[in-house]
Amino acid sequence: MAFTYLDNNAGAGLAEGVLDAMLPYLQQQQGNPSSSHRFGRFAHSALDKARQQVANLVNADPSQVIFTSGGTEANNQAIAGVAELFHDGKVLVSAIEHPAMLEPAQRLTRHGFEFELIPVNPAGIVEADTLTDMIDDTTRLVSVMWANNETGVIQDIPTLASICKQKGVPFLCDAVQAAGKLELDFNASGVDMMTLSAHKFGGPKGIGALIVSPDLEWPSYILGGGQEDDKRSGTENVAAIVGFGAAAEYVTSHLAEYQQHCQQLREALEKRLHDIPGVTIFAEQSQRLPNTVFFALQGFDSDTMLMALDKQGFAVSSGSACGTGRQTPSHVLKAMEIDDLTALGAVRVSFSLQNTVEQVEQLATALAKEAERFNHLMNR
């Protein structure tokens, strides 16, 4: 049985050319990039190239790129700076953020800070007026993600960043799901910090970055040998960083093709979903990532549906892959005022360039058969 992978928001697999770029640094290029001999200089040169490639992905300067072990560490580093710089105050975080942002922000309450969730409307959008009203003189940081990992909803980041700029409050943006899928411009967006993760768009797992505006003085996170401009010490994972850079270059050059292809697949699946009784497509009228469909089928819980589809050769998810083992309604859907019963049935499908219209049709057929089987059992 052929297996169809449709969980690309969890991990996209290596893009073309990424493994080949990494292999020399896994096999024979053993130099430490902090060493001054030729092997070290060779490794350092590879870091410089990758830093430029990642910077090009989001239109930033290479000097603004701090390599981390992934998006989670990058979020933690950004949030931890609040406790380093201030003694009190509050942090505002959107209610639909990934746990990698919510949990470190909430942990600041142990150190005397306040933590407030910025609500979203039923379409999954942070409204500008809502954010404006929540910011006051005690606000130390605002965090809103560029695109949601479950619904795919895209926020108006330049507008939200502009509000924070006017208020003199640093703005942090988790762009983990947006990078490689949308055209991002760090400098034009007005954000102060942005986080990225390579494996969401074709790079290896375990590598990411924090992008920091030159206008923002933000403290170091991991202390030691002074690597990454003394912001994140520790010997760099050269092979993974090279893969990160290669993936960034690949998706930059294939962005238009990716968007057109995934949009076609998304529209094809949603057209078929509309023909299945009892289907709810979340945030359908919102601007969303071209590759993401988040829906629920009435009468099914997500675990049951995922297992049924897995047996038929389809790999999909129930939302964030970083919150496994928790059979609770998605906090994202709850923030959008979706009832618990519907939210517990949520299924996420996320495409890549490797997926086809034929696979979408096969998935839709499988979903329709599951719905028909359920209705038959209920009507016996």
Instruction: Name all domains of the chain by residue range, CATH numbers in brackets.
Output: 4-12+255-378 (3.90.1150.10), 18-253 (3.40.640.10)
Question: pTM of the full predicted structure?
Answer: 0.95
373 has a pLDDT exceeding 90: no
Type and span of the H or E element at 263: helix 255-273
352 has a pLDDT exceeding 70: yes
Q: pLDDT band at 321, cuts 50/70/90?
A: low
173 is catalytic: no
The answer to whether 246 touches 96, Cβ cutoff 8 Å, is: no
264 has a pLDDT exceeding 50: yes
Strands 208-212 and 193-197, by their bridges, are antiparallel
Task: Write the pLDDT tens digit of every residue in 113-133.
Answer: 999 999 999 999 999 999 999
Q: pLDDT band at 372, cuts 50/70/90?
A: confident
**3 state DSSP class of 314:** strand
Q: What is the C-alpha to C-alpha distance for residues 188 and 201, in angstroms, rounded to an integer?
A: 22
Q: What mean pLDDT comes out for the span 240-245?
A: 98
Residue that has been written with the tokens 């960043």 in this structure: 161
Handedness of CA 292, 297, 302, 304 (dihedral sign): negative
The residues that bridge with 210 in the sheet, in sequence order, are: 66, 195
Mean pLDDT computed over every residue of the chain = 94
Q: pLDDT band at 45, cuts 50/70/90?
A: very high
* pLDDT for 1: 67
Task: Write the pLDDT tens digit of every residue in 266-304.
Answer: 999 999 999 999 999 999 999 999 999 999 998 888 999
Which among 198, 141, 205 has a CA at the least distance from the CA of 173? 141
**3 state DSSP class of 238:** helix
* pLDDT for 242: 98
Given 164, 173, 262, 322, which residue is catalytic? 322
> What values do phi and psi take at 376, rounded to 5?
-65, -45
